[in-house]
Homo-oligomer: A and B are copies of this chain.
Amino acid sequence: MDVKYINPFLTATINVIKTMAFLDPKPGKPFIKKESKALGDVSGVIGLSGDLKGSLSITFEEDTIKHIVSNMFGEDINEINDEVRDAVGELTNMISGDARRQLQSFGVKIDAAIPSIITGKNHTITHIAKGPIVALPFDTEKGKFIVEFTMEKTK
């Protein structure tokens, strides 16, 4: 996978979290590994296909997502409920959409599927990919989250 694909996902994440939750997530150093397991409490996953095929996930610690969704709604969110799941679905759709718009400027057309939301204390997400998985860690004042994506050639 071309490293130029990293920046669209990085800036999409920052843009969307900033716009939707009025937060400025601090990106850590992106890392690439063949097998990466994101560990967290609430995740959004969305499939990517088209010129390339792949998968995008965003995995939050519970405190992080409660803080983000509280900011989005302007009210205190104290549990992981359907409102939180819907909000994570919206964030996942928007990050995927913003990244895909940027990828199109490289001539790469990607369609998104619909997001699926996972909840469960300390779950892991593993993308079954032929190529490398890019992990983008972020810090907020209330906790961490991580974006992972992979894209590979379609047959």
Contacts and interface: CB of A to CB of B under 8 A. Distances in A.
6 contacts: A49-B113, A55-B114, A85-B126, A90-B128, A115-B128, A116-B128
A120 B123 contact: yes
B85 A128 contact: yes
A53 B112 contact: yes
B118 A124 contact: yes
Looking at chain A's contact residues, is the secondary structure mostly helix, strand, loop, or mixed?
strand
Interface of A: 35, 43, 45-50, 53-55, 57, 82, 85-86, 89-90, 92-93, 111-129, 150, 152, 154
Contacts of A128: 85-86, 89-90, 92-93, 114-117
Given A43-B118, A46-B47, A49-B113, 9 more contacts: A47-B55, A48-B113, A57-B116, A114-B152, A116-B125, A117-B125, A118-B120, A119-B126, A120-B124
